[in-house]
A and B are shown apart, each in its own frame.
Chain A
Amino acid sequence: MHKRISRLATAGIAAAAVGVMLAGCTPASSNTTEDGKSKVVFWQQKFEDYQQDWFKAQVAEFNKSQDEVEVELLVVPADTWDQKLKAAQAAGKAPDVKTTSYGNVKPMQASGQIADLSELMDADAFDDIAENIAPFVTVDDEVYAYPLLVEPSTVLFYRTDLLAAAGIDAPPTTWDELVDDARTLTTGDVYGMNIGQTAPDLGWSSWGLQYNVAGDFPLRGDWSEASADDPAYEDLAKFYQTLYAEKLMPQEATYPYADCSFFGEGKVAMSACGSWALGQLSANPDWAGVWENTAVAAFPSSDGDPTAPTSTLGGWTLTVDAKSKVQDESAEFVQWLLADDTDRLVDFFTATGFSKYPARVSVTEALAATPEAADNPFLATITEDIVPYAKAEPSYPWDVSLAFATSLEKAMRGGDIPAAMSEAQAAIEDVIKKQKLAGTGSD
């Protein structure tokens, strides 16, 4: 789940959100167009520019390809997405098809918001979904979302030139090494490391590290008991605290975690960021000097085990609304876009600059065979060293992640670590009780 919230980019929120909450925002719509076609409203969350271009081109092509269904695309900024969607649902005007992150599929399924696609699409469309992705979208053998892509949320980006100048010949493989390297690399103008530092960012960017240090998330099993008091998480809090307290990382969250601008601007020598930052870094001509010296590695694990997870596998799917009056037509569009033509998706993944990865086996194979993939220096590292060991995002309510992250942030900014962790424990226990989570966990 990308919470691509930037302080500056939030500029639009206030006005938009208030308007949305008051008015429910979406114009009145019927399910047929003026010329009698079925109308499918499709909301796409705004991502990097090339994604909007790709979706627009595909929708235009789909609309031209037949005369039964007309898809209407609306690009919605990430910052206003949640409120706008909820307001539309309240007004009974939810989009027929929408982008949905893996983390939201199960909560939405549980509250009956999304339709079972296995009833609506051809059965063989689901056979092609990669084995490690299928569980993200499946509940009791029913598939509630069709996956588009996966992307590891935590990758280590580093500057080969700065590491070489500091006499460091390889990226760190343990947290201790990372902290030591960050100390060496921190000079007057450049911080050694950059990592998420605000609770909303820590909430999701630290999932992989939570898993790494404790072997699981702070809410485990069937979600009956909180585990934030697992002493292992104190090591995680200590790791963040050291980086922050020793000023080895920027002291101000000028950019949110999902935005790799600190690295692009040359203000940090190493940075944790999602794989999507490859697309961001390569696309900015001002950062060409940094981009030439950029390399990626799996984020170090706490003890140096390269097979231990340090990243979650986030990503995006398309879902069909449970109340949509044009479910068949919506599913037809989803199938056409994501499940049929492999070339359509190969084009997409090539456009991403190999910063995102297919969720379908046949697309992965087709992509690997392209000359662009063979030339890409990052693809192998990410697909071989990171993706196979990454974990699924937790599907419990965001409140749990935010409660843990708030404590992590307190610890990071110098708070007492055991006290912060017991605060998280109490907060998560409260969420379990009030949101009746006990026994609803899936593993």
Chain B
Amino acid sequence: MTMSPQSTNRLATAASVALEPETTAPARKRRRGVGRLSTHVMDNRTAYVMIAPMVVLLGIFVWWPLLYSFYLSTFEISFYEEPVFVGLQFYGYVLEDPDFWHSIGIGATYVLYTVPAIMIIAFLVASFIRTVGRKVAGLLKTTVYVPTVVSAVITSVVFVFMYRADGGLINWLIGFVGLGPFAFLSDPELALPAISVPGIWLAFGITTLIMLAGMYDIPQSYYEAAQLEGANFFQRTWFITIPLMKNVLLYLLVTATIAGMQQFELPLIMTQGGPTNSTMTPNLFIFNQFKDPTPYATSFSLTAALILFFVLGGISMLIFRLIRSDKAIDA
């Protein structure tokens, strides 16, 4: 969806109005002999000084490690002998490794299982919370937030017990309708869906709260006007809530997708990537490679991590492109 030309014009006007005093004010203070150019330089200098700390910090903690990692990935790294320069050899190894792509596929499948569910459940729950009174809403907000503060490690362990074929809670429950028992975590078909359930449980709470915050930002008058026009709940949701929350939804979609692709603890603890690699997410794959004591494994896992960085960046860009993001058109 794109913005209408009208709203773009309105924004442009608003922006120029907002900028106007800034462009005139320094002009009045201009000292004799100092030209227009130097004012720009002065302005720029101030700006540079203000952003400098952030640039330095980003440089130290983001860009330098990243560039250094790229540099290192061109070596077969040994901590004991001279590293051997191998150029882009490890990139080739990772890119042609079927297990790496298999893990990307597993990550993508996990995203497909979890992200739509998280988004839909969170949207429904947030819509519901918005309609209830302040006290009940407070209680519900706390309740849905609880899974977020539970550690993924503990959740994994609890779900392993719940999934057990002998005496697990879930098999006990489905036993009442004559199904099972299923060895959820030992069946290559069932293991990934089984891991997705705690994945959804852990993420939907915080997603709900962010959506709720977005919903509270929409002026109540819009809904009242729509109601007067005879719009029902679904029409109000479709024509008011969703368009006005586009940026919030997009943010949640991208972060949930990236977090899903990077899922690590759940498969590590619940299945160790098995059975038959059916839950081997990309990060778990890289982690397992890293463990080997050979220089090959070190360089391979580093390179795979860097390639994953590009894959995730690509996925984020793709989502941003598919759902074009604009500034909020909220008045």
Instruction: Give residues in A with beta carbon < 8 Å to B.
Output: 5, 7-8, 10-15, 17, 21, 82-83, 85-86, 89-90, 92, 94, 104, 107-108, 111-113, 197-200, 251-254, 322-323, 397-399, 406, 409-410, 413, 415, 430, 434-435
A255, chain B: closest CB distance, angstroms: 11
A83, A252, A406: the one within 8 Å of B276 (CB): A406
| B259 interface contact, C-beta 8 A | no
Q: Considering the complex, give the chain A residue whose CB is closest to the CB of B97.
A: A430
Whether B292 and A13, one on each chain, are in contact in the complex, defined by CB atoms closer than 8 angstroms, is no
B 138-170 to A, binary, CB cutoff 8 A, 1 in contact else 0: 000000000000011110110010001110000
Q: Considering the complex, give the chain A residue whose CB is closest to the CB of B265.
A: A14
B152, B186, B268, B269: the one within 8 Å of A252 (CB): B186
B97, B186, B269, B290: the one within 8 Å of A14 (CB): B269
Interface residues of B in 248-287 (CB under 8 A from A): 264-265, 268-272, 274-277, 287
- Kindly name the residue among B93, B160, B264, B269 whose own CB sees the greatest number of chain A CB atoms within 10 A: B269
A408, chain B: closest CB distance, angstroms: 10
Residues in B with CB closer than 8 Å to A254 are 164, 166
Residues in A with CB closer than 8 Å to B80 are 89, 111-113, 322-323
B79, B160, B297: the one within 8 Å of A8 (CB): B160
B265, B293, B295: the one within 8 Å of A82 (CB): B293
Whether A434 and B269, one on each chain, are in contact in the complex, defined by CB atoms closer than 8 angstroms, is no
| B91 interface contact, C-beta 8 A | no
A154, chain B: closest CB distance, angstroms: 21
Residues in A with CB closer than 8 Å to B265 are 14
Whether B270 and A397, one on each chain, are in contact in the complex, defined by CB atoms closer than 8 angstroms, is no
Residues in B with CB closer than 8 Å to A197 are 186
Q: Considering the complex, give the chain B residue whose CB is closest to the CB of A83.
A: B291
Whether B185 and A252, one on each chain, are in contact in the complex, defined by CB atoms closer than 8 angstroms, is yes
| B232 interface contact, C-beta 8 A | no
| B188 interface contact, C-beta 8 A | yes
Whether A86 and B298, one on each chain, are in contact in the complex, defined by CB atoms closer than 8 angstroms, is yes
Whether A199 and B276, one on each chain, are in contact in the complex, defined by CB atoms closer than 8 angstroms, is yes
| B308 interface contact, C-beta 8 A | no
B 76-115 to A, binary, CB cutoff 8 A, 1 in contact else 0: 0011110000000000010001000000000000000000
B240, chain A: closest CB distance, angstroms: 42
A8, A17, A111, A397: the one within 8 Å of B81 (CB): A111
Whether B188 and A406, one on each chain, are in contact in the complex, defined by CB atoms closer than 8 angstroms, is no
Whether A251 and B165, one on each chain, are in contact in the complex, defined by CB atoms closer than 8 angstroms, is yes
| B183 interface contact, C-beta 8 A | yes
A323, B79: Cα distance in complex, Å: 9
Whether B264 and A199, one on each chain, are in contact in the complex, defined by CB atoms closer than 8 angstroms, is no
A104, A200, A252, A430: the one within 8 Å of B272 (CB): A200
Known contacts: A107-B294, A251-B165. The answer to whether A7 contacts B272 by CB under 8 A is yes
Whether B270 and A7, one on each chain, are in contact in the complex, defined by CB atoms closer than 8 angstroms, is yes
A413, chain B: closest CB distance, angstroms: 6
Known contacts: A406-B277, A409-B274. The answer to whether A8 contacts B157 by CB under 8 A is yes
Q: Considering the complex, give the chain A residue whose CB is closest to the CB of B165.
A: A252
A10, A86, A111: the one within 8 Å of B290 (CB): A86
Q: Considering the complex, give the chain A residue whose CB is closest to the CB of B270.
A: A7
Known contacts: A83-B290, A198-B274, A398-B292. The answer to whether A89 contacts B183 by CB under 8 A is no
Additional 11 contacts, C-beta under 8 A, given A13-B268, A15-B151, A413-B188:
A11-B153, A11-B156, A11-B157, A14-B152, A17-B287, A86-B298, A89-B79, A89-B80, A199-B274, A252-B185, A253-B275
B 32-53 to A, binary, CB cutoff 8 A, 1 in contact else 0: 0000000000000000000000
Whether B293 and A86, one on each chain, are in contact in the complex, defined by CB atoms closer than 8 angstroms, is yes
| B296 interface contact, C-beta 8 A | yes
Whether B79 and A90, one on each chain, are in contact in the complex, defined by CB atoms closer than 8 angstroms, is yes
Whether A7 and B160, one on each chain, are in contact in the complex, defined by CB atoms closer than 8 angstroms, is yes
Residues in B with CB closer than 8 Å to A409 are 274-276
Q: Which 7 A-B pairs have the closest CB atoms?
A: A82-B291, A252-B183, A112-B80, A14-B265, A89-B79, A252-B186, A251-B183
Residues in B with CB closer than 8 Å to A251 are 165, 183, 186
A102, chain B: closest CB distance, angstroms: 13
A257, chain B: closest CB distance, angstroms: 12
A200, B153: Cα distance in complex, Å: 20
A53, B274: Cα distance in complex, Å: 34
Known contacts: A397-B292, A434-B296. The answer to whether A14 contacts B274 by CB under 8 A is no
- Kindly name the residue among B79, B81, B93, B271 whose own CB sees the greatest number of chain A CB atoms within 10 A: B79
B287, chain A: closest CB distance, angstroms: 7
A288, B157: Cα distance in complex, Å: 28
B154, chain A: closest CB distance, angstroms: 8
Residues in B with CB closer than 8 Å to A104 are 293
A419, chain B: closest CB distance, angstroms: 13
Whether B294 and A14, one on each chain, are in contact in the complex, defined by CB atoms closer than 8 angstroms, is no
- Listed by A's residue number, 24 A-B pairs whose Cβ atoms lie within 8 Å are A5-B272, A7-B270, A14-B264, A14-B268, A15-B151, A17-B287, A21-B290, A82-B291, A82-B292, A86-B298, A107-B293, A108-B293, A111-B81, A198-B272, A199-B274, A199-B275, A200-B274, A251-B165, A252-B185, A253-B274, A397-B294, A398-B292, A410-B276, A434-B296
Residues in B with CB closer than 8 Å to A108 are 293
Q: Considering the complex, give the chain A residue whose CB is closest to the CB of B291.
A: A82
Residues in A with CB closer than 8 Å to B188 are 413
Q: Considering the complex, give the chain A residue whose CB is closest to the CB of B300.
A: A434
Q: Considering the complex, give the chain B residue whose CB is closest to the CB of A402.
A: B288
Residues in B with CB closer than 8 Å to A111 are 78, 80-81, 293-295
Q: Considering the complex, give the chain B residue whose CB is closest to the CB of A426.
A: B98
Residues in A with CB closer than 8 Å to B156 are 11
- Kindly name the residue among B78, B160, B165, B293 whose own CB sees the greatest number of chain A CB atoms within 10 A: B293
A17, B157: Cα distance in complex, Å: 17
A291, B29: Cα distance in complex, Å: 93
Known contacts: A10-B269, A14-B152, A113-B80. The answer to whether A413 contacts B292 by CB under 8 A is no
Whether A112 and B81, one on each chain, are in contact in the complex, defined by CB atoms closer than 8 angstroms, is yes
